A and B are shown apart, each in its own frame.
Chain A
Amino acid sequence: MRDDLLDPRAVLLHESAPDRDAAIRRCGRALVEVGAVAEPYVEAMLDRERTISTYVGEEVAIPHGTAASKEDVKRDAICVVRFPGGVDWDGERVTLCVGIAAKGDGHVPLLAELAEILLDPDRARTLREATQVSQIMKELT
């Protein structure tokens, strides 16, 4: 696992958002702040979400950009943003977002791990209810 993929500064555990778009913007900003993407990527994340929801189950969504927006990705990175109060995601409740920026395949092992976690309800709950950055890092990397 590449250790620069998930910057601890991109793990935000106590966020709140009034709606889906605000939650996506928060994820996008986290990726901008760690230098993984350029600003326009955030709009691409919103565009992508309007086409097909990135909700993947177990109260988790994985917002990311479009194929065209890869030019705004500076390096493969993810962010983990938790919304303990929940966000209405086209009728689904989302409490955890894993925002993705990828140029290549560097993030694939991490997504594979996330899929494993989400298929195990107990591990999914642990991830959703994490209150320490170290717990998230331990589960995902």
Chain B
Amino acid sequence: MAGIDSKDIHKIIVACDAGMGSSVMLASTLKKQLKGTGVTVEHTPVDSIPADADVVLCHSGLAARARAAAPGKPLVAFQIFLGDPAVTKLVDAIKNGGTVDA
């Protein structure tokens, strides 16, 4: 697992399948938590992850598809849509500095 320095994170993509449910909820929560940090958060279908994304967040059930769609992109997989430790770590690293496993 390679790490990414949190100061290199400017754009987070929450990747999802339909983009109408849980990922939307996570993206909105993240946006709020990262307000004022200058980091943008967007949600897109897993098959159309934009090239300028610095980190991709997706449910572990979608991780294989996300890796295939965006090879080499740092990816953080989570299990729980709200309050997942992996997501909390990412937010903490962005706010306080540090490296994120991705």
* Interface of B (DSSP majority class): mixed
Closest A residue by C-beta to B83: A57
Q: Is the CB of A100 within 8 A of B62?
A: no
- The answer to whether A100 and B45 touch across the interface, beta carbons within 8 angstroms, is no
Chain A interface, DSSP helix/strand/loop, else mixed: mixed
Q: Which chain A positions have C-beta within 8 A of B32?
A: 112, 116
A118 touches B62 (CB 8 A): no
What is the interface size of chain A, counting residues whose CB is below 8 A from a CB of the partner?
28
Number of interface residues of B (CB under 8 A): 20
Chain A residues positioned under 8 Å from B62 (CB to CB): 52
- Of A52, A66, A69, A114, which contacts B25 at CB under 8 A? A114
- Please pick, from B18, B25, B26, B81, the residue contacting A67 in the complex, using a CB distance under 8 A: B18
- A-to-B contact residues, CB < 8 Å: 48, 51-52, 54-58, 62-67, 69-70, 100-102, 107-108, 111-112, 114-116, 118-119
